[in-house]
């Protein structure tokens, strides 16, 4: 398996353009099966999760093709409703296909999905939302057989604002006659992006971004050409790369209004963060200051996906900080790896106490999940000597050639064939 060799000590300096968000593109790819003609996803990132989703769509009869402007997905070719077991186990986003496949074919079959090892990640909210719409779901030996023969519009209340469950119910309702509502819906900006894509295809969805979403069922949708929103987590990660190296960065292609919680924490740590219309710049102090407490929450709270990068920053900040992870129960595997690099972190349940150290040193470490892997790269940038990171395939799930992006900003990150 491939790894990264990171030589620390260089300041990150320069400009970069942030591309389309993984978390916007994956549900959009799923929604493409609702249409009766192909869609173009402009600027689609070439990341491993997109390739896995292409694989699943391919097995369902929907080919997709890369071209100069992005990815063309022939969702209209949808021929079968049974999702391939091995691929679905690998990619959690395969669960997003349940709603749109039911919308189109009124039946679907899926195995319990996989994804990052960051917690239990149940799908009970997805299933109860679909059941509320009249879908009959039977589970046998880990396979869920869904019969949507009697699907109808419904008022769906989510006990928790799950991003995936909100998107799934939204997609199931688009081709279902009548008015479906989702209350206590997740408010992540990627849900607004999915709404825009569905409406570009001829759908009638409104309210995304608020806790109440309304979907008026339509008879058919056509394919659309759509540019998904920027990747706010990738943007945050690169801001952190500049912050941890005492550097300076200018990001374009971003909407700072979607990054308020992250910008505020970086300011609390002593960074100068400036927002313009589609740009964001950060200038880091010589030494970061510890934040007081960081609590992850559903949007607009602090995003759980940025918790790992912030843990890396807190490791070298001056003072002591506390992180409380409220969204996923198992997101501190990174702490052990950072400790190998000299960090001083104590984890107890959902909380971590980080006493900042004067510096980290290079070590052999392992990426355990996507964002934790990216955080190890950040720690490596700030460490003395060389850090060897294995498990880079997890980082490739969500970052498009992260090593090239960082090298263009002055870092020394090499992809190496194998780390023993």
Residues within the interface to ligand UD1 (CB under 6 A): 23, 26, 92-93, 119-126, 160, 162-165, 186, 188, 190, 303-305, 327-328
Contact 88, 114 (CB under 8 A): yes
How many whole angstroms separate alpha carbon 367 and alpha carbon 8? 17
Q: Which of 116, 146, 240, 271 is catalytic?
A: 116
Rounded CA gap, 55 and 62, in Å? 9
* Residue 74 near residue 62 (C-beta atoms within 8 A): yes
Of the candidates 364, 358, 365, which has an alpha carbon nearest to the alpha carbon of residue 343? 358
When CB distances to ligand UD1 are compared, the closest residue is: 164
Nearer to ligand UD1, 233 or 316 (CB): 233
By beta-carbon proximity to ligand UD1, the closer residue of 316 and 399 is 399
Report which of 76, 29, 34 is spatially closest to residue 56, judged by C-alpha positions.
29
Q: What are phi and psi of 144, to 5 degrees?
A: -105, 120
Residue 318 pairs with which residues in a beta bridge? 289
Cβ partners under 8 Å of residue 293, min gap 6:
321, 322, 323, 324
3-state secondary structure of 132: helix
Cβ atoms of 114 and 85 closer than 8 Å: no
Q: Determine the Cα angle at 311 with ends 305 and 317, to 5°.
A: 140
Instruction: Say which residue the tokens 């900080």 belong to.
Output: 321
Tokens matching residue 162:
């799950």
Q: CB of residue 29 vs ligand UD1: minimum separation in angstroms?
A: 11
Rounded to whole angstroms, how far apart are CA atoms 240 and 232? 12
Distance of CA 171 to the CA centre of its chain: 18
CB of 384 to ligand UD1, least distance (A): 32
**CB nearer to ligand UD1: pick between 10 and 305:** 305
Active site annotation includes 116: yes
Helix (H) or strand (E) holding 348, with range, is strand 344-348
In the complex, minimum distance from the CB of residue 394 to ligand UD1, in angstroms, rounded to a whole number: 13
Q: How far is the CB of 24 from ligand UD1 (least distance, A)?
A: 8
Minimal distance, residue 289 CB to ligand UD1, in Å: 27
Nearer to ligand UD1, 164 or 356 (CB): 164
Under 8 Å between Cβ of 291 and 261: no
- Select 44 or 383, whichever has its Cβ closest to ligand UD1: 44
Minimum distance, C-beta of residue 398 to ligand UD1, in the bound complex (Å): 8
Residue number with CB closer to ligand UD1 (341 or 368): 368
* Residue numbers annotated as active site: 116
């Amino acid at each position: 398996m491939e790894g990264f060799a990171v030589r620390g000590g260089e300041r990150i300096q320069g400009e970069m353009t942030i591309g389309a968000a993984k978390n916007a593109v994956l549900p959009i790819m799923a929604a493409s099966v609702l249409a009766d003609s192909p869609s173009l996803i402009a600027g689609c990132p070439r990341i491993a999760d997109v390739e896995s989703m292409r694989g699943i769509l391919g097995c369902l009869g929907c080919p997709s093709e890369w071209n100069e402007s992005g990815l063309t997905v022939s969702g209209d070719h949808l021929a079968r409703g049974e999702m391939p077991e091995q691929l679905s186990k690998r990619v959690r986003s395969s669960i997003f296909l349940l709603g749109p496949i039911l919308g189109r074919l009124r039946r679907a079959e899926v195995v319990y999905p996989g994804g990052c090892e960051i917690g239990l990640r149940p799908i009970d909210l997805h299933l109860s939302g679909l059941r509320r719409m009249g879908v009959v779901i039977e589970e046998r030996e880990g396979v869920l057989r869904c019969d949507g023969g009697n699907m109808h519009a419904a008022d769906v209340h989510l006990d928790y604002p799950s991003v995936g469950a909100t998107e799934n119910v939204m997609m199931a309702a688009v081709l279902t006659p009548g008015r479906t509502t989702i209350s206590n819906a997740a408010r992540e900006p990627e849900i607004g992006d999915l709404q825009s894509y569905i409406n570009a295809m001829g759908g009638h969805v409104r309210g995304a971004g608020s806790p109440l979403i309304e979907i008026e069922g339509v008879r058919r949708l056509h394919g659309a050409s759509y540019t998904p929103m920027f990747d706010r987590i990738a943007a945050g990660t690169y801001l952190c790369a500049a912050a941890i190296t005492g550097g300076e960065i200018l990001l374009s292609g971003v909407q700072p209004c979607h990054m308020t919680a992250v910008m505020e924490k970086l300011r609390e740590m002593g960074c100068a963060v400036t927002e313009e219309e589609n740009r964001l710049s950060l200038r880091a102090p010589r030494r970061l200051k510890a934040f007081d407490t960081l609590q992850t929450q559903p949007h607009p709270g602090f995003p759980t996906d940025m918790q790992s990068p912030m843990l890396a920053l807190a490791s070298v900040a001056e003072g002591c900080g506390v992180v409380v992870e409220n969204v996923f129960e198992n997101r501190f595997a990174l702490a052990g790896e950072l400790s190998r690099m000299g960090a001083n972190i104590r984890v107890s349940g959902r909380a971590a106490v980080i006493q900042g150290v004067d510096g980290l040193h290079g070590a052999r470490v392992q990426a355990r999940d996507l964002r934790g892997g990216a955080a190890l790269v950040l720690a490596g940038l700030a460490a003395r000597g060389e850090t060897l990171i294995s498990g880079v395939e997890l980082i490739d799930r969500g970052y498009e050639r992260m090593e090239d992006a960082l090298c263009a900003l002055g870092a020394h990150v090499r992809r190496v064939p194998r780390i023993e």
